[in-house]
Amino acid sequence: MLENPQNAHDPLIPTIIYNNLREMIPARGDQIVEQIDRDSAIASDFDETVVRWVRDAVNAMNRSPEQIAKTLKGALPASVGALVDKTTDRKIRGALQSVIDAFGTLGVKPAQAARLFNDELRHAVSDIAASQGSSRIPATAVALWWHDPKAVTTARAIIGDSMADAGLRSEFVRALGATKDVANIDAFASLVYDNGAPILIRQGAVNALGVMNDPRAAASLLDHFDQLPIDLKPMVINALVLSTTSSRVLLDSIKGGRIPLSNMNENHARAINGFNDPDLSKEVVDVWGKVQTERNPERAKLVKQYRKLFLSRGSDPVKGMSVFEAKCSQCHTIYGKGGNIGPDLTGVGRDNLDLVLSNVLDPSLVIGKPYYVYVAKLKDDTAVSGILVEDSSKQIVLKEPAGVHVIPRDQLVRLVQQNISMMPEGLEQTMSQEEFSDLIAFLLSKEQPVPKK
């Protein structure tokens, strides 16, 4: 079946072949791989289906991480020049990808994986990473486990390549971002400002720059801030309050008039105060104002004011739905759409105007314990905030609009609960009175409003 190249293009036959071979893998896995490797046509025709599936299964069922790394040696060429042969290139790519997949399945961490490669094997993988064949992609991913200079150079080039696969660029940002190497700044910044890349891929580069705790990294996020799309700008500000150095750059930029103050909200101010740096906290007061850590009594007066406003004018729940999507859906779900940071608003009591106004204008008045804000200070002098979704002996996990922060216990210095909502006060200041009234009308709706034709 494998010797017939037409079978490789059938939608079902490769799966049928693999399912029959899979039963033999526990007893004869190595023998099957050897037979496949001896036939270059099979390795070429079925490289993305049966060949890869068999390699993955053999690694997962029959081999330890040490054995997986050892078997890779025989699959690599004696010299990089052999990669001009496309069939060999595909074979190498498949072998490397199988190692990556197997280590992922077995939970082998990069540092542990790196120790399994001796100097000879590292040199071979490094040369492939620096080549021009398709196998350079998985070779780069493998060589980054030990921060190989050639792999780092290739990864930076791919991150900055607007024509490269978005998922691959994201993967390399994660790998390089963990090192916090300032030499990555230019590559990451080029991805941040690549308007052809998906927003969430660009966000990964934004966060990697924010946690570097480096002034040039922070400045790279603000150099062309006005050119960023509207949905990426809040992600940049969120990233800038992840470290003390970038927080200073943000505050200096606002103070100097380079960044509008309206981009910073109370959550950002709280995050900066979470560093417990007296100079930074003073600058927050000077630039942004005093941070409210307890209930603000002035909010009750505002509820009465906006109640009169709402009752004095006609409001459109359909328009309010658009306001909700722009202002609230990043955190809240309603009618099956939106984020999952705050509670799902679909089924909660929304038939009382006073309660809805109070929840919007005074979000810290009543907070369910699952939605308290926590600030975590880390050993690398960074801090993150969010709602607490895991608190175990192994790790702390905080969730906020910018993403999820997984913090190993041994990296945590301090975790502080603040009796305030993740939702910042002052939402009404970000919209017109008409938009606010439309939003309240939408929140009071008993079912999703339908635009009139």
Residue 231 has a pLDDT of 79
pLDDT of 332: 85
- Contacts with 284 (C-beta within 8 Å, 6 or more apart), sequence order: 251, 269, 272, 273, 291
Residue 17 lies in a domain: no
Q: Dihedrals φ, ψ of 351, to 5°?
A: -100, 5
DSSP per-residue string spanning 222-264: HTTGGGS-TTTHHHHHHHHTTBHHHHHHHHHHHHTTSS-GGG-
The pLDDT value given to residue 293: 56
| pLDDT band for position 160 (cuts 50, 70, 90) | very high
Residue 350's CATH number: 1.10.760.10
Number of H helices, E strands in the chain: 22, 7
For residue 142, pLDDT over 60 is answered with yes
Structure tokens at 20: 């029959």
pLDDT, mean of residues 289-306: 73
> In this structure, is residue 238 part of a structural domain?
no
User: What would the pLDDT profile of 174-192 be if each residue is shown by its tens digit?
Assistant: 889 988 999 999 999 999 9
Together in a domain, 320 and 407: no
What's the CA gap between 95 and 398, in Å, rounded?
A: 37
Neighbours of 346 (CB within 10 A): 15
Q: Do 26 and 62 touch, CB atoms closer than 8 A?
A: yes
CB 116 within 8 A of CB 100: no
Q: Is 173 part of a structural domain of the chain?
A: no
pLDDT digits (tens, 9 = 90+) for 397-428: 998 876 788 999 999 999 988 766 777 777 88
Q: Which of 75, 119, 80 is nearest to 93 (CA)?
A: 75
The 10s digit of each residue's pLDDT in 310-323 is 998 888 989 999 99
User: Does position 5 have pLDDT exceeding 80, yes or no?
Assistant: yes
pLDDT for 254 equals 92
Residue 12, pLDDT score:
92
User: Please, which residues have CB within 8 angstroms of residue 88's CB and are 6 or more apart in sequence?
Assistant: 77, 82
| 249-283 pLDDT tens trace | 999 999 999 988 878 876 788 788 888 899 998 99
Residue 220 has pLDDT above 90, yes or no: yes
The residues facing 243 across adjacent strands are: 382
What is the total count of domains within the chain? 2
Between vectors from CA 330 to CA 298 and to CA 284, what angle results, nearest 5°?
A: 50
Residue 183 in any domain: the answer is: no
Check residue 214 and give its pLDDT: 94
Tokens encoding 116: 């399994």
Extract long-range pairs of 183-188: CB within 8 Å, 24+ residues apart. Answer: 183/156, 184/156, 184/159, 184/208, 185/209, 185/212, 185/214, 185/216, 185/217, 185/220, 186/156, 186/160, 186/220, 187/155, 187/156, 187/157, 187/159, 187/160, 188/159, 188/217, 188/220
Round to whole Å and give the CA distance between 323 and 435.
7
Contact by Cβ (8 Å): 333, 339: yes
Instruction: Identify whether 338 is part of a domain.
Output: yes
Non-local (6+) Cβ contacts of 217 within 8 A are 182, 185, 188, 209, 210, 246
Looking at the structure, tell me whether residues 353 and 430 fall in a common domain. yes
- Summarize pLDDT for 443-453 with one digit per residue, the tens: 888 788 887 76
Residue 128 lies in a domain: no
The residue-averaged pLDDT of 126-153 equals 90
> How much is the pLDDT for 296?
63
Q: Report the mean per-residue pLDDT for the chain.
A: 85
Residues 6+ apart with CB under 8 A from 62: 25, 26, 29, 30
pLDDT of residue 382: 85
Q: Dump pLDDT digits (tens) for 328-352.
A: 888 888 888 888 777 778 755 567 7
Instruction: Supply φ then ψ for residue 422, to 5 degrees.
Output: -65, -30
Cα 415 to chain centroid, rounded: 22
Angstrom distance (rounded) from CA 145 to CA 34? 27
Q: Is residue 291 scored above 80 in pLDDT?
A: no
> Above 80 in pLDDT, residue 88?
no
Domain co-membership, 415 together with 434: no
pLDDT at 187: 95
**Quick one: 302 and 411 in the same domain?**
no
Kindly tell me if the per-residue pLDDT of 245 is higher than 80. Answer: yes
Would you tell me how many other CB atoms lie within 10 Å of the CB of residue 144?
A: 23
Q: How far is CA 373 from CA 23, 341, 353, in A?
A: 51, 11, 26
Residues 314 and 352 in one domain: yes
For residue 273, tell me if it sits in a domain.
Answer: no
Please tell me the predicted confidence (pLDDT) of residue 294.
Answer: 57
> For residue 368, what pLDDT is reported?
58
Q: Which domain holds residue 379?
A: 369-421
Two tokens, residue 133: 């064949």
| Residue 390 within a domain | yes
pLDDT, position 453: 64
State both tokens at 439: 């939003």
Q: What is the pLDDT of residue 84?
A: 54
